[in-house]
Amino acid sequence: MPTRKAAATTLPPSRPAEVLLFKTPRPHGSLISVLDLSFEEIGQILALATLLESQDPLVRMQRLLKRKVALLFYESSTRTRTSFELAAKALGADTALISSQSSSIEKGESLKDTGITLKALGAECIILRHLSSGAPYLLEQATGLPVLNGGDGTHEHPSQALLDLRTMLAHLRAGETSVTEKTLEGVTVSIVGDILHSRVARSNALLLPRLGARVILCGPAALLPEVASAIGPGLTIERDFDKALAESEVVMMLRIQAERLAGLHLDLEDYKGRYQANGPRMAAHAPKALLMHPGPIIRGLELTSEVADGPQSLIAEQVSHGVAIRMALVARALNAAGSGSSKPGSSAEPAKNAPAASKRRRA
Ligand code: CP
């Protein structure tokens, strides 16, 4: 197991201190934390995702025709970057991708100055992935533009939590059209692995209990310090993966974030023995659970190929839900949630919010 104990203080607070210092109102349509959203807004986003997904592509493109969306990525990404870009383009927007490796960021330009530059170039919304927790708040304050957080350090990844929610609802609550504190009542979700470094874990741990889910955090002490249960209300810690599996309707596996371990050495064979989702373990303890993973997956480490490609896996389906959710978030950020409008100021359109029931056969 780990050769040194993780400092219990490495989990940052759910609201970075800088957000508390804001004096000016935040721009409409920003999404930096799941805590930004009321039940009503979550329902509107899910409804809009369903509406946009089913809309004629040529009609849908009128919503944001020639509007400008910037994608500013300081860290690598496949799913978040591509799905936000496809989502913005599906709404007719022009997109510009700025990555830290091929821009003036390499020459030392600050996040603030990069944001001001993008605004001067016409960007009306910035999708940001950054290695520092809280960076989206700084960008929002510097530019006054809506910022969509595509993952900031170990803080949050709210669009991932929303697409995870949409995936769960498609399987567990097909046909429901509202989001309340009881939507996920009776559902236990285990989030397993490197909780300490996971912004996905935090966003889900803050969102799912609000909707009535019981959330179990599971992992070794080095990747899941006791203080993690203070991320938000309704969280419990379980070190025994088999026990957590036996209680779960949903199992969310996490990658070990080698890039954030900062000198922490894990005995990977021991980790796999205790926390790997493999065929025999799933069959013995959770044969009917939904298996989720935000990606990227490391086959043979936190899960085996048998599980990743097996009938319980929703991993590819999660990715697909990401485009619909991100269309809704981009439309909301540019205030174009109303039907057919590409002009700022149009209002959100009421629609059924339940994602289509999945056709996938459960094991
Ligand atoms: N889930 C997720 O954020 O994946 P990417 O790092 O590929 O965007």
Ligand 1 centroid, distance to 80 Cα (angstroms): 5
State how far the Cα of 71 lies from the Cα of 100, in Å rounded to an integer.
Answer: 11
Give residue 346's pLDDT band: very low, low, confident or very high (50, 70, 90).
very low
Cβ of 335 closer than 6 Å to ligand 1, yes or no, is: no
Give residue 12's pLDDT band: very low, low, confident or very high (50, 70, 90).
low
pLDDT at 264: 73
Q: In the chain, what's the furthest Cα-to-Cα distance? A: 58
Cβ of 198 closer than 6 Å to ligand 1, yes or no, is: no
Q: Which of 57-61, 137-141, 308-312, 356-360 has the lowest mean pLDDT?
A: 356-360
Give residue 224's pLDDT band: very low, low, confident or very high (50, 70, 90).
very high
pLDDT per residue as tens digits for the range 259-296 = 766 667 788 999 999 999 999 999 999 999 999 999 99
Q: Which atom of ligand 1 is nearest to the CA of 81?
A: 8
Cβ of 78 closer than 6 Å to ligand 1, yes or no, is: yes
Across residues 229-250, what is the average pLDDT?
96
Ligand 1 centroid, distance to 257 Cα (angstroms): 12
Q: Which position has the token pair 């993780």?
A: 6
Can you tell me whether residue 340 is helix, strand or coil? coil
Across residues 214-222, what is the average pLDDT?
97
Ligand 1 centroid, distance to 347 Cα (angstroms): 31
Cβ of 110 closer than 6 Å to ligand 1, yes or no, is: no
Pocket test for ligand 1, best of 77, 85, 260, 302 (most atoms within 8 A of CB): 77
Across residues 168-194, what is the average pLDDT?
94
Q: pTM (2 decimals)?
A: 0.90
Give residue 354's pLDDT band: very low, low, confident or very high (50, 70, 90).
very low
Q: Which atom of ligand 1 is nearest to the CA of 80?
A: 8
Across residues 244-254, what is the average pLDDT?
98
pLDDT at 102: 83
Cα–Cα distances in Å, from 191 out to 64, 81, 132, 202? 36, 24, 23, 10
pLDDT at 9: 45
CA end-to-end distance (rounded Å), the chain: 33
Can you tell me whether residue 303 is helix, strand or coil? strand
Sequence-separated (6 or more) residues with CB below 8 Å from residue 356: 50, 170, 174
pLDDT per residue as tens digits for the range 187-210 = 999 999 999 999 999 999 999 999
Give the chain's mean pLDDT: 89
Q: Which of 2-16, 97-111, 275-289 has the lowest mean pLDDT?
A: 2-16
Secondary structure percentages of the chain, helix, strand, coil, to 5: 40, 15, 45
Can you tell me whether residue 267 is helix, strand or coil? coil
Cβ of 160 closer than 6 Å to ligand 1, yes or no, is: yes
Ligand 1 centroid, distance to 296 Cα (angstroms): 6
Ligand 1 centroid, distance to 36 Cα (angstroms): 21
State how far the Cα of 272 lies from the Cα of 299, in Å rounded to an integer.
Answer: 11
Cis peptide before 296 (omega within 30 of 0): yes
By alpha-carbon position, which residue is closest to atom 1 of ligand 1? 294
By alpha-carbon position, which residue is closest to atom 3 of ligand 1? 80
CA atoms 24, 27, 33, 37: torsion sign: positive
Q: Which atom of ligand 1 is nearest to the CA of 294?
A: 1
State how far the Cα of 293 lies from the Cα of 51, in Å rounded to an integer.
Answer: 25
State how far the Cα of 271 lies from the Cα of 278, in Å rounded to an integer.
Answer: 13
Ligand 1 centroid, distance to 43 Cα (angstroms): 24
Q: Which amino acid is at 159?
A: S
Q: Strands across the sheet with 188-192, in order?
A: 235-238, 214-218, 188-192, 250-253, 290-292
By alpha-carbon position, which residue is closest to atom 4 of ligand 1? 79
Contact in structure between 316 and 37 (CB atoms under 8 Å): no
Contact in structure between 182 and 172 (CB atoms under 8 Å): no
Q: Which atom of ligand 1 is nearest to the CA of 160?
A: 1
Across residues 66-89, what is the average pLDDT?
98
Contact in structure between 65 and 39 (CB atoms under 8 Å): no
| The pairing of beta strand 94-99 with beta strand 125-130 | unpaired
Cβ of 159 closer than 6 Å to ligand 1, yes or no, is: no
Share of the chain above pLDDT 70, in %: 86
